[in-house]
Chain A
Amino acid sequence: MIIKCPHCGPREASEYTYIGDATTKRPDHNDTDMDKWNDYVFLRENPRGAHAEHWQHTSGCRSFVKVLRDTVTHEISGVSLEGPWQVEDKS
């Protein structure tokens, strides 16, 4: 599987580390509701088909990317940079 890093170009998946589901949202840091934290840490959808997930280019530029991957075919339909340096995906 090849993931197109917005900085480094198309690179093999073995250069990346899978971080996790990109659709979960961490509760506000000062939120004290245990259920929300439980959901954030432990609950995941397991969709068949389109899925957004985070990968880190650990053996490359170390940036975090959001990868839109089909869980059935592993086809990747988009990769975008995450974080304060977020830019438009020009691919």
Chain B
Amino acid sequence: MSGSRLKYKGLFIDQSKPIEFTFDGKSYSGFEGDTLASAMIANGEMMMARSFKYHRPRGIYSAGPEEPNALVSLRSDGRLEPNCTAPTVELYNGLDAHSQNAWPSLSFDVMAVNQLFSPLLVAGFYYKTFMGTGQRFWHFCEHFIRHAAGMGKASLDPDPDRYEKTNLFADIVIIGSGPAGLAAAMAAAPSGAKILLVDENTHFGGSLPEERGTIDGSDPKTWAAETLKTLSEYDNVTMMSRTTVYGYFDDNTLGAVEKVADHKVVPENFEPRQRHLKIFAKRVIIATGSIERPFVFDGNDTPGVMLAKSALRYANRYGACVGDNVALFTNNDDGYTTAHQLRELGVNVTTVIDARKSINDDLPQDTNIEYKVGHVVTSASGGKALSTMKIAPFDADAKTIGLESTIKVDALLVTAGYTPMINLCSQTGTPAIFDDEIQSFIPGPATRNWQACGAVVGAFTLDEILTTNKVENANKKAIPLALTDMPSSNKSAKKFVDFQHDVSVTDLNIAHTEGFRSVEHLKRYTTLGMAADQGKTSNMNALAIMAELRGISIPEAGTTRFRAPYKPVALGTLAGRDVGKHFSVTRRTPMHDWHMDHGAEMIEAGIWYRPRVYKKTGETVTDAYIREAAAVRNSVGIVDVTSLGKIDVQGPDAAEFLNRIYANAFLKVPIGKARYGIMLREDGYMFDDGTSWRLSETQFLMTTTTANAAGVLSEMERLLTLVWPDLKVHVSSISDQWAGMAVAGPKSRDTLEKVITSVDFSEEGLPFMGVRDGLIDDMPVKVARLSFSGERAYEVYTPTHFGSDVWEAIMKAGEAFDITPYGTEALGTLRIEKGHISGPELDGRTTMADVGLGKMASSKKQYVGSILKERDGLIDDDRQTMVGLISHDDKPLKAGSHLLSGTDNIGHVTSTTYSPALEKFIALALIKNGSTQMGNTLSATFPLKDEQNSVLVVEPHFFDKEGERLYV
């Protein structure tokens, strides 16, 4: 390649400030203001990548985000970022860029052998090769295929940088700061409306640096500078560069990414690398402009072939010259202007090839350029760097070519017209409408409060853009799109349509031949337009070729709708700061520090942290929970139950309300008594269980399971608001206001009696299920005699800020009985021994009857779910019901194991533990028609670990079935 720096100093670079960077480990230099692509061009390196499938050499193709070829990985380790488009990467000192998809090196890539197999690797290769051969063959090949095909690789290291998210609100959001965007901003600014002008580039102004003519008497560059200055003086106008709007969502909500520090070696302290913006806009002006359209010809992907306007941008903005001997292939007048501008900047354009039969006589020509009107480029070749092209006379009507001649060139610039960037408009749901004059799709009518202007609606000239009048301009008329696909004399011509996914005209032909004809099918079968660039440079040509194959017009063939994101968005940016520990909220009970100080191993229970076990020196988890559970049975234990949901239910109709939502009776719960209740969902399955304590005629304190606390509250609110607005009841969550602990075991009464004053702990004073108010010193407590463990037990609640003091007071009072704090494991052990249900049995698929609580359901009233719980399927005899299991082999059982009777899979294990009371490994399980299986032996199998255990089916009450220990 012969790229170099021009004598002309580019508009955007500062040649007094050199910048050092590396590409594939080799050092290069550029200037401040360069992009990676412009610096590489100036260094004579056009080839930057290998293609996705065939590993063909690929060069820089464009000067913007539409870049299909020059994808690179930036930085390394945790900061590695794959698949960045080189033209949009700003250069900085120490930038470390790498090529992708090439091994061992970019210039010698062994996978380029794929090109030899290219006749095989066409559209549908994978379907045809691997469908029907069985999974094994695919699994064998997959590793090699994944290694060979692809883009950059993501880093496995955590990203050390921070990403932020913010919301913005604006009356008018203008997307794009080219002539249309700036004109719109100038028109709107005096109104005082809050305006947000965003542009994805580093510089505002869009195409203005290359535009000719005058605006308000100034040249476009000057007008842009003055306009930007004027706008910056308005307090109501905010301008954001390096900000890409990637999605247009409901209610005029835009998703955007601001590249805050991507142009720095590392972000400064506390500075995010990127910021995600959610923009709420009253009105949106879409001024996203257009991009140039390529031609399709043999070898059109050779490094050195690139878009014409892009070459002009490299010259004008960065003083970067794409070649020494440059040809330009066009089918429109604008190509001539581009060629002449390039020459003025010092780029040696020698030949202009024009596909049109004839041109207007008044089209200015340059005597240093040879014009080949009525000719087309039929091929470009040179491998890693363009060296020659073939041109031939072209008969557009017959689509045939004459005798080819070979011309030496090192850069071939192509321009087959312009494609409006309607991506964001399309995302709003408006259809794309084919505009015959410009041979492109333009946005249909706005469905929401937005408006498109400028090149995105096909206004390609400054006059059109700034007057908003369509100027009748014969020269502007694009030649039919169908004429961008060039005939070739080469039978194995490689004419690429989608560069990034290596989709060629051959692939489109195959798809057509095999019947994948609708645009949706074609896209999926060939993967055309499905690469990271969303087919920005390829879609229109593909549609034209497809329409041609089917003999229909482009609008008849139709197009697909664009989806967000317009440009790839890093997952880190979408996550923002919600990573690691901050992914969800963490809830700690007031006793958390005490637990930590006493050897607790914590476990996440929903968003709560709860002690799992309190390990003593040398203990395993199993040792610890067995010791803790045994202590409860033998003396006294204490467990933190703060995480239970707590709901205050108040109002004259409180009892009536609970009676309607619990399956058992609640109307006549006496004041000072609690009752265990089960709630069903409207569909009749079990929803939640817990106790409700009647504190007064009109007030209950309801407890729910930890997991369902929020759901139960919402359901109660729904019923009170939408179904029974006449009930005088109010519910509030008081989960955070109360700390709770359960004191369980034969010595629980003795412990609490020592510390809680003003409560009579006698059998009559505080009977089972009784609720009393008391004091510990001057700290108020509520004591309820409830039991989950089966032992005599009390739940003690106190305002949250007294939680740890009350806990410590009870611990002190229990010292005499060697009170043992216990965690969720021992809690599980105790309740499994008693056959009490918990989360694994309340899995949303069980009925009350399934878990042996059918008799609890009231038959004297209706309640939520009472009718639908009688559905045939819910009362079937063959339903899985809860049973107990005892391991025959004295081995631990695994929750989730399948239970086999012979070879019949009849259910699964729900909860398992070692029972210190039975000195056996036991479990709860749900099995088909459980009551008929008592005394039978089943096989508990866990295929993932290849484990089988022989188990005995028993009643799910392993311990103290009569409940005598509640009164010990």
Q: Kindly supply a per-residue 1/0 record for chain A positions 54-72, scoring 1 wherever the CB is within 8 Å of any chain B CB and 0 otherwise.
A: 1010100011100000000
Residues of B near A47 (CB, < 8 A) are none
Select which of A29, A56, A74, A75 is within 8 A of B717 by beta carbon: A56
**Is A46 close to B, CB under 8 A?**
no
How long is the Cα–Cα vector from A30 to B723 in the complex, in angstroms? 13
> A1 near B250 (CB under 8 angstroms)?
yes
Residues of B near A17 (CB, < 8 A) are 714
Also in contact, A2 and B251, with CB within 8 A (given A29-B862, A41-B683, A73-B429): yes
Select which of B251, B280, B714, B725 is within 8 A of A56 by beta carbon: B714
> B867 near A26 (CB under 8 angstroms)?
no
Expressed in whole angstroms, the minimum distance between the Cβ of B861 and any Cβ of chain A is 9
Also in contact, A41 and B868, with CB within 8 A (given A29-B862, A73-B447, A73-B448): yes
Residues of B near A31 (CB, < 8 A) are 867
* Further 7 A-B residue pairs, CB within 8 A, beyond A32-B867, A34-B871: A26-B723, A29-B724, A37-B682, A64-B718, A73-B429, A73-B447, A86-B725
> A32 near B862 (CB under 8 angstroms)?
yes
**Is B722 close to A, CB under 8 A?**
yes
Q: Kindly supply a per-residue 1/0 record for chain A positions 4-41, scoring 1 wherever the CB is within 8 Å of any chain B CB and 0 otherwise.
A: 00000000000001010000001001111110011011
> A29 near B660 (CB under 8 angstroms)?
yes
Residues of B near A32 (CB, < 8 A) are 862, 867
> A37 near B721 (CB under 8 angstroms)?
no
> A83 near B868 (CB under 8 angstroms)?
no
**Is B253 close to A, CB under 8 A?**
yes
Residues of A near B870 (CB, < 8 A) are 34
Could you jot down 19 A-B contacts, CB within 8 Å? A1-B250, A2-B251, A17-B714, A26-B722, A26-B723, A29-B723, A29-B724, A34-B868, A37-B682, A37-B868, A56-B714, A56-B717, A58-B710, A63-B721, A64-B722, A73-B447, A76-B251, A83-B721, A83-B725
**Is B720 close to A, CB under 8 A?**
yes
Residues of B near A76 (CB, < 8 A) are 251
Residues of B near A84 (CB, < 8 A) are 721, 725-726
Expressed in whole angstroms, the minimum distance between the Cβ of A41 and any Cβ of chain B is 5
Expressed in whole angstroms, the minimum distance between the Cβ of B722 and any Cβ of chain A is 6
Interface positions, chain B 702-744, Cβ under 8 Å from A, are 710, 714, 717-718, 720-726
Q: Nearest A residue to B726 by beta-carbon distance?
A: A84
Also in contact, A38 and B868, with CB within 8 A (given A54-B722, A73-B448, A74-B251): yes
How long is the Cα–Cα vector from A31 to B387 in the complex, in angstroms? 86
Q: Report how many residues on chain A are interfacial, defined by Cβ distance under 8 Å.
A: 30
Q: Nearest A residue to B723 by beta-carbon distance?
A: A26
How long is the Cα–Cα vector from A54 to B867 in the complex, in angstroms? 24
Residues of A near B249 (CB, < 8 A) are 1
Expressed in whole angstroms, the minimum distance between the Cβ of A56 and any Cβ of chain B is 6
Q: Report how many residues on chain B are interfacial, defined by Cβ distance under 8 Å.
A: 27
Expressed in whole angstroms, the minimum distance between the Cβ of B656 and any Cβ of chain A is 11
Summed over the interface, the residue pairs from A and B with CB atoms below 8 Å come to a total of 66
Residues of A near B723 (CB, < 8 A) are 26, 29
Chain A residues in the interface with B (C-beta under 8 A): 1-2, 17, 19, 26, 29-34, 37-38, 40-42, 54, 56, 58, 62-64, 73-76, 82-84, 86
> A37 near B867 (CB under 8 angstroms)?
yes
Select which of A19, A37, A73 is within 8 A of B718 by beta carbon: A19
Chain B residues in the interface with A (C-beta under 8 A): 249-251, 253, 280, 429, 447-448, 660, 682-683, 710, 714, 717-718, 720-726, 862, 867-868, 870-871
Q: Nearest A residue to B719 by beta-carbon distance?
A: A26
Residues of B near A86 (CB, < 8 A) are 725
How long is the Cα–Cα vector from A34 to B874 in the complex, in angstroms? 13
Interface centre among B249, B250, B724, B725 (most CB of A within 10 A): B250
Residues of A near B725 (CB, < 8 A) are 83-84, 86
Residues of B near A42 (CB, < 8 A) are 683
> A64 near B721 (CB under 8 angstroms)?
yes
Select which of A41, A54, A62, A83 is within 8 A of B682 by beta carbon: A41
Q: Nearest A residue to B683 by beta-carbon distance?
A: A41
Q: Nearest B residue to A81 by beta-carbon distance?
A: B721
How long is the Cα–Cα vector from A41 to B660 in the complex, in angstroms? 17
> A83 near B722 (CB under 8 angstroms)?
yes
Residues of A near B717 (CB, < 8 A) are 56, 62, 64
> A82 near B722 (CB under 8 angstroms)?
yes
How long is the Cα–Cα vector from A1 to B250 in the complex, in angstroms? 5
How long is the Cα–Cα vector from A17 to B717 in the complex, in angstroms? 13
How long is the Cα–Cα vector from A14 to B429 in the complex, in angstroms? 22
Q: Nearest B residue to A86 by beta-carbon distance?
A: B725
> B250 near A74 (CB under 8 angstroms)?
yes
Residues of B near A75 (CB, < 8 A) are 251, 448
Q: Nearest B residue to A56 by beta-carbon distance?
A: B714
Q: Nearest B residue to A63 by beta-carbon distance?
A: B721
Also in contact, A82 and B448, with CB within 8 A (given A32-B867, A34-B867): no
How long is the Cα–Cα vector from A29 to B865 in the complex, in angstroms? 10
Q: Nearest A residue to B733 by beta-carbon distance?
A: A62
Q: Nearest B residue to A73 by beta-carbon distance?
A: B447
Residues of B near A1 (CB, < 8 A) are 249-251, 253
- A-B pairs with the 4 shortest C-beta distances? A83-B721, A74-B250, A84-B725, A1-B250
Also in contact, A82 and B251, with CB within 8 A (given A34-B867, A41-B682): no
Residues of B near A29 (CB, < 8 A) are 660, 723-724, 862
Expressed in whole angstroms, the minimum distance between the Cβ of B726 and any Cβ of chain A is 8
Select which of B429, B721, B724, B726 is within 8 A of A82 by beta carbon: B721
How long is the Cα–Cα vector from A63 to B683 in the complex, in angstroms? 24
How long is the Cα–Cα vector from A76 to B682 in the complex, in angstroms? 29
How long is the Cα–Cα vector from A19 to B589 in the complex, in angstroms? 31
Q: Nearest A residue to B721 by beta-carbon distance?
A: A83
Residues of A near B447 (CB, < 8 A) are 73
Expressed in whole angstroms, the minimum distance between the Cβ of B98 and any Cβ of chain A is 38
Q: Nearest A residue to B447 by beta-carbon distance?
A: A73
Residues of B near A26 (CB, < 8 A) are 722-723
Expressed in whole angstroms, the minimum distance between the Cβ of B661 and any Cβ of chain A is 11
Q: Nearest A residue to B871 by beta-carbon distance?
A: A34
Residues of A near B867 (CB, < 8 A) are 31-34, 37
Expressed in whole angstroms, the minimum distance between the Cβ of A39 and any Cβ of chain B is 11
Expressed in whole angstroms, the minimum distance between the Cβ of B723 and any Cβ of chain A is 5
Expressed in whole angstroms, the minimum distance between the Cβ of A74 and any Cβ of chain B is 4
Residues of A near B726 (CB, < 8 A) are 84
Expressed in whole angstroms, the minimum distance between the Cβ of B860 and any Cβ of chain A is 12
Expressed in whole angstroms, the minimum distance between the Cβ of A27 and any Cβ of chain B is 8
Q: Nearest B residue to A30 by beta-carbon distance?
A: B862
Q: Nearest B residue to A3 by beta-carbon distance?
A: B251
Residues of B near A73 (CB, < 8 A) are 429, 447-448
Also in contact, A58 and B250, with CB within 8 A (given A26-B723, A73-B429): no
Expressed in whole angstroms, the minimum distance between the Cβ of B266 and any Cβ of chain A is 32
Residues of B near A30 (CB, < 8 A) are 862
How long is the Cα–Cα vector from A9 to B867 in the complex, in angstroms? 40
Residues of A near B718 (CB, < 8 A) are 19, 54, 56, 64
Expressed in whole angstroms, the minimum distance between the Cβ of A6 and any Cβ of chain B is 13
Residues of B near A56 (CB, < 8 A) are 714, 717-718
How long is the Cα–Cα vector from A2 to B279 in the complex, in angstroms? 12
Expressed in whole angstroms, the minimum distance between the Cβ of A21 and any Cβ of chain B is 11
Q: Nearest B residue to A19 by beta-carbon distance?
A: B718
Residues of A near B722 (CB, < 8 A) are 19, 26, 54, 64, 82-83
Residues of B near A2 (CB, < 8 A) are 251, 253, 280
How long is the Cα–Cα vector from A64 to B723 in the complex, in angstroms? 12
Residues of B near A40 (CB, < 8 A) are 682
